[in-house]
Structure 1
Amino acid sequence: MRIGLLGTGPWARMIHAPVLQAHESLDFAGVWGRRPEAAKELADRHGTRAYDDVDALLADVDAVAVALPPDVQAQLAVRAAEAGCHLLLDKPVATTVAGAREVVRAAREARVASVVFFTTRFMPEAGTWIAEQARTGGWFTGHAQWLGDVFHGESDSTFATPWRGEKGAVWDVGPHALSVLLPVLGDVRRVAAAARGPHDTVHLVLDHADGASSTVTLSLTAPPAATAADVELRGDAGVTRLPRGGDAAGALTRAADELIAAARDGRPHACDAAFGLRVTEILAEAEDLLTDGAR
């Protein structure tokens, strides 16, 4: 599969480009970025071609991997799908429901495969745990906390990008929490409550379709010593916690494997654009509650 990379930011440089270059079943055909000089630098580093025209890249490849801010991603994903390219997308698909719906529409109409890179879902131990808990069932409640220190005074991390600063933890790490809770506890019937904590910290209460409830705590401004990515479930089977471990490069490699398989057999992937849309709808509902609360 010939694949192009859209984006030249930190995630593209650190994870996407090295994985695409090393993958045995992918031909890393080129890079496009909003800054042509950055695209050339990244392409030269990985022995591929830099494109100044995104549509020229789309015409030359079978698939694209996207490492761009979500609302830029959504617009380009529609163009890529309409050009017949399979989609390896980042989370969230978009930060508006309308934007995510357009991606789903374009992918369905073009009959292209899509996989959204919810990192935890593609880590082997975590993926196995999620599947096991979904089969077990009988869960009464769950709690997820995704606490990062992306924005922490003068020590802001490499990932302290403008879109994260604008949209905050709800949109950056909220998708990770939902990607674990939804397959285990069922779809969210409603966001029952949403409240703000320190800085960009947010607390959500979710009412799930299967009768369970869950709470979610999200932050990009936690103290470094307090960072965590944890999920705990309680129910008839007792108490269980999401295992830690795995690396982002290995997870993206597996996501690429699963995009190739989905493109080959035509079956929708569990983390396809439609699932990404559902995550966007839930987070948009939470954002509306937070906005109403601020008023």
Structure 2
Amino acid sequence: MRIGLLGTGPWARMAHAPALEAHPELDFTGVWGRRPDAAKELASRHGARPYDAVDALLDEVDAVAVALPPGVQADLAVRAARAGRHLLLDKPLAATVPQARAVADAVREAQVASVVFFTTRFRPEAATWIAEQALEEGWFTARAQWLGSVFGGGDSPFAHSPWRREKGALWDVGPHALSVLLPVLGDAVRVASAAHGPEDTAHLVIEHESGAFSSLTLSLTAPPAAAGAEVELRGSAGVARLPHGGDGPVAALSLAADALLTAARTGRPHPCDAAFGLRVTEILAEAEALLTEQEG
């Protein structure tokens, strides 16, 4: 599969380009970015070709991987899907529900494969754990803490990300937490409550269709010593905790690429497809609306 990369920022450099170049079933064809010099540098480093125009890249690939802000990603994903290109997308799928719905509709209408890279879902130990817990019945409650120090005094390469500054932890790490909770507890019936914490920190309570409630604490401004991710389930089966560790984002992205290849070959949607990305966006938007009401 010939694949192009849209984006040249830290995530594209750290994860996408190395994973696409190393994958044995992908031909890393080219790179497009909003900064042509950055696209040229990244492409030359990985043996790909820089492109000045998105459409020129789309004409020469079978699929695109996107490492761009969600609002930019959504518009380009619609464009790529309508051109018949498969999509390896990042989370969140879009910055608004209408944008996310446009992507999901374009994917369905063009009958292309799509995978949204919810990192935890493509880490083998975590994926196995999620699948095992989804088979258990009687979950009573769940607690998820996804605490980053992007703006908390660490040296994160994402500290200067404008969209993260604007949207905060709800939209950046909230998708990670939801990607773990939804397949285990079922879809969200409603966001029962949402409250602001310090800086960009958000506290949510979600009712799931299984009857269980989950509580989420999300932040990008946690002190470095407090950063980390935890998910704990409690119910009839006892207590279960999401395993830590993994081989890093490059290995996880390689597995996401495997998933895209399989979906493209079989025509069967992956669980983390654009439709799931849309659902996560809808939940985030519901929570955001509750948080905005508090500000008013």
TM-score above 0.5, yes or no: yes
Amino acid at match of 1:35: R
In 2: Cα distance, 1:235 partner to 1:151 partner? 35
Structure 1 residue 267 and structure 2 residue 268: aligned? Answer: yes
Structure 1 residue 37 and structure 2 residue 45: aligned? Answer: no
Q: Deviations over 1:161-190 (max 9, x none)?
A: 111011100000000000000000000000
Residue number in structure 2 paired with 1:250: 251
Structure 1 residue 196 and structure 2 residue 196: aligned? Answer: yes
In 2: Cα distance, 1:89 partner to 1:81 partner? 11
Amino acid at match of 1:211: G
Residue number in structure 1 paired with 2:87: 87
In 1: Cα distance, 2:71 partner to 2:251 partner? 26
- Per the normalisation by structure 1, the TM-score is 0.99
Residue number in structure 1 paired with 2:156: 157
Query: Identity percentage over the alignment?
Result: 74
Q: Confirm or deny: 8 A CA contact 1:65 1:89 kept in the other structure.
A: yes
Q: Cα offset for 1:95?
A: 1.6
- For residue 60 of structure 1, give the secondary structure of its aligned residue in structure 2: coil
Q: Cα offset for 1:83?
A: 0.6
Q: Cα offset for 1:156?
A: 4.7
**Mapping 1:1-295, distance limit 5 Å:** 1-153=1-153, 155-160=154-159, 161-246=161-246, 247-295=248-296
Q: Confirm or deny: 8 A CA contact 1:43 1:49 kept in the other structure.
A: yes
Amino acid at match of 1:157: S
Q: Cα offset for 1:127?
A: 0.1
Amino acid at match of 1:13: R
- For residue 157 of structure 1, give the secondary structure of its aligned residue in structure 2: coil
- The ranges of structure 1 where at least 4 consecutive aligned residues each deviate by more than 3 angstroms after the TM superposition are none
Q: Confirm or deny: 8 A CA contact 1:137 1:184 kept in the other structure.
A: no
Q: Cα offset for 1:144?
A: 0.4
In 1: Cα distance, 2:106 partner to 2:17 partner? 25
Q: How many residues align?
A: 294
Q: Deviations over 1:20-73 (max 9, x none)?
A: 000000000000000000000000111110000100101110000000000100
Q: Cα offset for 1:142?
A: 0.2
What stretches of structure 1 of length at least 5 have no aligned partner?
Answer: none
Q: Cα offset for 1:215?
A: 0.1
Amino acid at match of 1:88: L
- For residue 112 of structure 1, give the secondary structure of its aligned residue in structure 2: coil
In 2: Cα distance, 1:142 partner to 1:291 partner? 25
Q: Cα offset for 1:220?
A: 0.1
